Chains A and B, each alone.
Chain A
Amino acid sequence: MIENALPDDPSPKPLKTVPLDSWHRAFGARMVEFAGYSMPVQYQGVLAEHLHCRSHAALFDVSHMGQATLSGPTAPAALERLVPGDMLALKPGRQRYTLLTNEAGGILDDLMVTRLADDRLFLVANASRKDIDFTHIAANMPPGVQLQPHDDRALLALQGPAAAAVIGGIMPEAAQLPFMGAAQVALAGIPCLVSRSGYTGEDGFEISVPAEAAQELAQRLIDEPEVVPAGLGARDSLRLEAGLCLYGNDIDELTTPVEAALTWVISKRRRADWDFPGAAAVRDQIENGAPRHRVGLRPDGRAPARALTEIVAGDGTEAGTVTSGGYSPTLSAPIAMGYVRKDLAAVGTALHLMVRGKPLSGRVVPLPFVPHRYAR
């Protein structure tokens, strides 16, 4: 009965490893394949790790994600040719969430962009998309702007209400960062790039660190009594509670920022110029409405409605599809996100979720499921 359960390294082809691979295994991590990498999915258990992150702090290794620097005098303007966000107005030391869009307005990836200096941007992209992203970006840069991927760096995320106190004991400057602020900080001589951001809805930090120093940093963080290591399992349940999109599930090349309820990433200036890839399609949806919307969903019972669950309207017509779904450890109840027809997207709309052939009642609810607690 466990064919669908978390498998141990099921892939026959050799997996890439992260710098902390042996460290994870020494902690008893269960390693699984994710985006071509062997990654820890859990240590003590998803539930305990999830709840510890909400109550104290958890350390995630997200070194499989793509890191790169875009440099050159016109780097911010050049990146604006590919994304709908305002990169020119992004101040040094500030970070922004943005999207790579295609000519149809579809989402090629979501990424974090940090302005390191006037002529340098630091990018973090999804593991499953980084090769596509970096090829796409490099191919579209003008002379004088270079993209340098950092395969030699690890990325750690410390998340939770105790994260600031923990980081403050190791890197005092980092604890002073505002939400979505970033700084280059030396830790015992190790050059790190720290940003106050994350993927859990909690206050927290993401730390880019040279691969050879990753273990020292991870160990120092985990030695703090408030911190436990957490795997991709808890990362996924935390981000779902926070209503955050997972690329490949909730957003992809066939979803637009408008449908995905990510219209806020399109800055005011970019909406005046409408000059990002897919701007015409996106503008049309903003002005005339999108056919479907990403919404939060709460099944009424206790059965989780997983990704790809069909959603049916009260009158029996097709309503949409669940794109992420599972169990919320914080709410002790099933939660889901999905796309529904625009006439069914209002909060409170009753819907049916087709779980194992049976219609389970549920309704549209606001996102996030668990309030964000970012530093302000």
Chain B
Amino acid sequence: MAKPPADIRFTKEHEWVRLDGDIATVGITDHAQEQLGDVVFVELPEVGRDVASDEACAVVESVKAASDVYAPLTGKVVETNQSIIDDPSLVNSDAEGEGWFFRIEIDDTDSFEALMDHAAYDEYLETLD
């Protein structure tokens, strides 16, 4: 497996976070989309909303079930991805790229560093099987 970029972190709830300055882009992991199956609906937070770490702030629904997506970090929502509202299947086809959910401006990059890196997340996935 190619070494992934170092600026991505993961949560136990299967969100990924990519940090660019103080802007964190958040989505669900490829493992998560695989488990969910065909995504048919996404609900995203309002731009401007203050979110706390571990707060449910988006919803992703497959044909079968609805799941919450949690804010991995505390901050303010500054942008959401209209593309996945228009075409929820993007979450399946490119979960960790074009299928991103929202961007938050964070004030504490230390909490980003505290999340799992790619190797730690892969190890975590092993424990789930």
Contact = CB atoms under 8 A, between A and B. Distances in A.
Partners in one complex: yes
Interface stretch (B1-9, B58-66, B73-81, B115-123): B58-66
A199 to B, nearest CB: 17
Is chain B's binding surface mostly helix, strand, loop or mixed? strand
Contact of A4 (B38, B43, B65, B70): B65
B13 interface: yes
Interface residues of A, number: 25
B15 interface: yes
**How many of chain B's residues touch chain A, expressed as a range?**
20 to 34
20 contacts: A1-B32, A1-B67, A1-B68, A2-B13, A2-B14, A2-B32, A2-B35, A4-B68, A5-B35, A5-B37, A5-B65, A6-B62, A45-B37, A46-B62, A46-B63, A233-B37, A233-B63, A303-B41, A304-B66, A356-B43
A2 B61 contact: no
Contacts of A303: 41, 43, 61
The 7 closest A-B pairs by CB, nearest first: A47-B38, A327-B40, A46-B63, A1-B13, A5-B35, A4-B67, A2-B35
Contacts of A356: 43, 59
Given A1-B13, A2-B14, A302-B41, A47 B63 contact: yes
A326 B61 CA distance: 9
Contacts of B90: none
Interface of B: 13-15, 28, 32, 35-38, 40-41, 43, 59-70
Given A1-B13, A1-B14, A1-B67, A6 B60 contact: no
A236 B69 CA distance: 25
Nearest to B129: A8
B64 A326 contact: yes
A178 interface: no
Nearest to A302: B41
A270 to B, nearest CB: 38
A106 B1 CA distance: 58
Interface in A347-369: 356
A208 to B, nearest CB: 28
A177 B92 CA distance: 42
Interface string A1-22: 1111110000000000000000
Given A303-B43, A304-B41, A304-B61, A2 B67 contact: yes
Contacts of A42: 37
A5 B62 contact: yes
A76 to B, nearest CB: 39
Given A5-B35, A327-B40, A50 B63 contact: yes
Interface string A30-48: 0000000000011001111
Given A1-B32, A46-B38, A47-B38, A327 B63 contact: yes
A46 B35 contact: no
A326 B28 CA distance: 21
Contacts of A329: 63
